[in-house]
Amino acid sequence: MSILPKKNDLGFFEIRLESIGGLGANLAGKMLAEAGVLGLGLNGSNFSSYGSEKKGSPVKSFIRFCDAEVEIRDHSPIEQPHIIGIFHEALYKTVDVVSGLIPDGIVLVNSTRDFKDVKSDLQLSYGTLAIVDALGIAVEERTKVNTAMLGALFRICDFLDPESMRNVIRKTFEKKYPHLVEPNIRTFDRGYNEVQFKTFEAPADAIGKSFSRPQPLLGYETQALGGVITAQGNSILKDLSGSRQGYLPGLNLEDCIHCASCDTVCPDFCFVWEEGEDKRGRKQMFLQGIDYQYCKGCLKCVEACPTTALNELRETIGYSEVHQVKQNFPLIAGGVS
């Protein structure tokens, strides 16, 4: 008798993890697959998909399980998953994270917000929504987000044995990093115990989310001859907020001495300045604020600040939009704005 709770037409139970580089979704997918294959004797596979292999870029991790007598000959990306794990809320802005979800599927989100707000952002009509503050747990235990998400995923995939994952954590860290064994086990256990669920019943005629495969804007039929980028300074149109891993710099202008130490170390031109005069009438540049559109949350500015003007903040939805001071670029998109 199969222990898998559901199967698709090919006999697979499928999971898709949506994340950004640096949060450990690739490793989490591998560990999930190993737990089912080595711990329970299931057949399983795992692989990840990403573009540029760098911190902050979108990452997808795919996990398939099936019964031992079923062979896995399908290695295509998972388009209609039973479970989706979302490691970073900022992905809502650029990626259709619930694309292809079956009507009674489960979505796990790393968030501190309530079910109503998350459900609205995901445009989720029915299914089960699970929420866990994986980042908060990781910060308190000084570990990583993926371990807390793994704990929540094991709670969702109740056919998996959580003790097998605790043993994997022990074997992974006990030789080289023995001091990380207990914090990671605590992180896993907290993710397992602290995840919360809410189910929105699907009607009998419910259909799943349609799957959309994103296509490149410029292909062999639409690319300009020679591959020339005709608009100068086009990188100013990019939004780097999806690269942040939960933290951003907060600015208190009352404590700022306008020394520009923050601007010196900032790699992404985030700080907005304006020319003015000091108390003696001398011309000087004064800091006006931060353009969070370009902020990747590296927090180098916080380390460099000699005062208490900059501090590390846990990012909340809407904070960057409310406190953003936009850069003024007079020449954009090939003309004058």
CA–CA separation, 144 vs 25, rounded Å?
Answer: 11
Q: Is residue 230 part of a domain?
A: no
Nearby residues of 314 by Cβ (< 8 Å), 6 or more positions away:
135, 136, 139, 246, 247
Q: Are residues 22 and 95 in the same domain?
A: yes
The token pair at 76 is 């295509």
Q: Are residues 113 and 242 in the same domain?
A: no
How far are the Cα atoms of 303, 306, 323 from residue 289, in angstroms, in the given order? 17, 17, 8
CATH classification of the domain holding 21: 3.40.920.10
Domain limits for position 60: 12-200
Distance of CA 104 to the CA centre of its chain: 23
Q: Is residue 136 part of a domain?
A: yes
CA–CA separation, 246 vs 17, rounded Å?
Answer: 18
Q: Are residues 126 and 245 in the same domain?
A: no
Q: Are residues 158 and 253 in the same domain?
A: no
% of the chain surpassing 70 pLDDT: 91
Amino acid in the structure at residue 148: A
Nearest to 249 by CA among 287, 288, 303: 303
Beta bridge partners of 293: none
pLDDT band with cut points at 50, 70 and 90 for residue 307: very high
Rg of the chain in Å (alpha carbons) = 23
Tally of domains in the chain: 2
| pTM over 0.85, yes/no | no
Query: Lowest mean pLDDT: which of 48-52, 71-75, 230-234, 313-317?
Result: 230-234
Residue 287: predicted pLDDT: 95
Q: Are residues 70 and 182 in the same domain?
A: yes
Domain end (from 151, 179, 200): 200
How far are the Cα atoms of 164, 194, 306 from residue 111, in angstroms, in the given order? 26, 12, 32
Q: Are residues 193 and 246 in the same domain?
A: no
